[in-house]
Chains A and B, each alone.
Chain A
Amino acid sequence: MHYGDPTQDPHLNTINELDSEEARRQLNAVLDNATVAIFLMNERQQCTYMNAAAERLTGYSLHETQGRALHDVVHHTHPDGRHYPLEDCPIDRAFPERNRMQGEETFVHKDGRFYPVAFTASPIRDDNGHPIGTIIEVRGIAEEKARDTALRESEERFRNMADHAPVMMWVTESDGYCSYLNRAWHQFTGQTAEEAKGFGWLDATHPDDKGEAERIFASANARREAFRIEYRLRRADGVYRWAIDAAAPRFGPGGEFLGYIGSVIDIDERKEAEERQKLLVQELHHRVKNNLATVQSMVNFTLRTSETMDDFRKSVAHRLSALARSHSVLTSSSGRLTALRKILFSELEPYDHDRRVELDGPDLNVPDDVAMALAMATHELTTNASKYGALSVDTGVVCLSWSVEADGFDGRILSLQWRERGGPPVTIPTKRGFGSMLLERILGPQLRGAVQIEYPPEGVHVEIRGLIQAPVAHPYANFAQEVVP
Chain B
Amino acid sequence: MKRNLAGARVLIAEDNIMVAMDLASEFEASGAEVMGPFARVEEAIAALDSGKPDGAILDVNLLDGIVTPLAVNLIETNVPVVFCTGVSLPTELGAHYPDAQVFIKPTSSDRLVDALALRLVPR
Q: Could you say which of B24, B29, B106, B110 contacts A293, with CB atoms under 8 Å apart?
A: B106
Counting CB contacts under 8 A, is A213 at the interface? no
- Number of cross-chain contacts by CB at 8 Å: 84
Q: Are B39 and A446 touching (Cβ within 8 A)?
A: yes
Q: Are A445 and B21 touching (Cβ within 8 A)?
A: no
Q: Could you say which of A282, A289, A434 contacts B105, with CB atoms under 8 Å apart?
A: A289
Chain A's interface: helix, strand, loop or mixed, by majority? helix
Mark A423-440 against chain B: 1 for CB-CB distance below 8 A, else 0: 000000000001001100
Q: Are A294 and B16 touching (Cβ within 8 A)?
A: yes
C-alpha gap A179/B72 in the complex (Å)? 65
Counting CB contacts under 8 A, is B63 at the interface? yes
User: Which residues between 445 and 477 of chain A lie within 8 Å of chain B, taking CB atoms?
Assistant: 445-446, 448
Counting CB contacts under 8 A, is A152 at the interface? no
User: Which residues between 324 and 357 of chain A lie within 8 Å of chain B, taking CB atoms?
Assistant: none
C-alpha gap A472/B110 in the complex (Å)? 36
- Interface segment among A75-83, A242-250, A260-268, A369-377: the answer is A369-377
Q: Are A300 and B109 touching (Cβ within 8 A)?
A: yes
Counting CB contacts under 8 A, is B70 at the interface? no
C-alpha gap A297/B16 in the complex (Å)? 10
Instruction: Give every chain B residue within 8 A of A282 (Cβ-Cβ).
Output: 87
Q: Are B17 and A442 touching (Cβ within 8 A)?
A: yes
Q: Are B25 and A293 touching (Cβ within 8 A)?
A: no
Counting CB contacts under 8 A, is B38 at the interface? yes
Q: Are B19 and A294 touching (Cβ within 8 A)?
A: yes
Q: Are B106 and A292 touching (Cβ within 8 A)?
A: yes
C-alpha gap A438/B24 in the complex (Å)? 11
C-alpha gap A458/B22 in the complex (Å)? 32
Q: Are B87 and A298 touching (Cβ within 8 A)?
A: no
Q: How many B residues touch A, CB cutoff 8 Å?
A: 29
Interchain nearest-CB distance for A278 vs B (Å): 14
User: Which residues between 39 and 75 of chain B lie within 8 Å of chain A, taking CB atoms?
Assistant: 39-40, 43, 63
Interchain nearest-CB distance for B113 vs A (Å): 11
C-alpha gap A373/B39 in the complex (Å)? 12
Q: Are A297 and B24 touching (Cβ within 8 A)?
A: no
C-alpha gap A293/B40 in the complex (Å)? 19
Q: Are B108 and A446 touching (Cβ within 8 A)?
A: no
Known: A369-B15, A442-B37, A445-B39. Contact between A292 and B105, CB under 8 A?
yes
Known: A293-B105, A297-B109. Contact between A437 and B17, CB under 8 A?
no
Q: Are B106 and A442 touching (Cβ within 8 A)?
A: no
Q: Are A438 and B87 touching (Cβ within 8 A)?
A: no
Mark A269-297 against chain B: 1 for CB-CB distance below 8 A, else 0: 00000000000001001100110111111
Instruction: Give every chain B residue within 8 A of A445 (Cβ-Cβ).
Output: 36-39, 43
Q: Could you say which of A289, A295, A304, A438 contacts B17, with CB atoms under 8 Å apart?
A: A438
Q: Are A296 and B39 touching (Cβ within 8 A)?
A: no
Instruction: Give every chain B residue within 8 A of A372 (Cβ-Cβ).
Output: 17
Q: Are B39 and A298 touching (Cβ within 8 A)?
A: no
Instruction: Give every chain A residue within 8 A of B22 (Cβ-Cβ).
Output: 296-298, 300-301
Chain A CB count within 10 A is highest, among B40, B109, B110, for B109
Q: Are B39 and A376 touching (Cβ within 8 A)?
A: no
Instruction: Give every chain A residue within 8 A of B105 (Cβ-Cβ).
Output: 289-290, 292-293
CB-defined A-B contacts under 8 Å, sample of 22:
A289-B87, A290-B16, A292-B106, A294-B19, A295-B18, A296-B22, A296-B108, A297-B21, A297-B23, A298-B18, A300-B26, A301-B22, A301-B25, A372-B17, A376-B17, A434-B21, A438-B21, A441-B37, A442-B24, A445-B36, A446-B17, A446-B39
User: Which are the 4 A-B pairs with shortest beta-carbon distances?
Assistant: A297-B22, A293-B106, A289-B86, A293-B105
Given A296-B106, A297-B109, A300-B22, 13 additional A-B pairs, CB 8 A: A282-B87, A285-B87, A296-B19, A296-B108, A297-B21, A304-B25, A304-B29, A305-B25, A437-B24, A441-B21, A442-B17, A445-B36, A445-B39
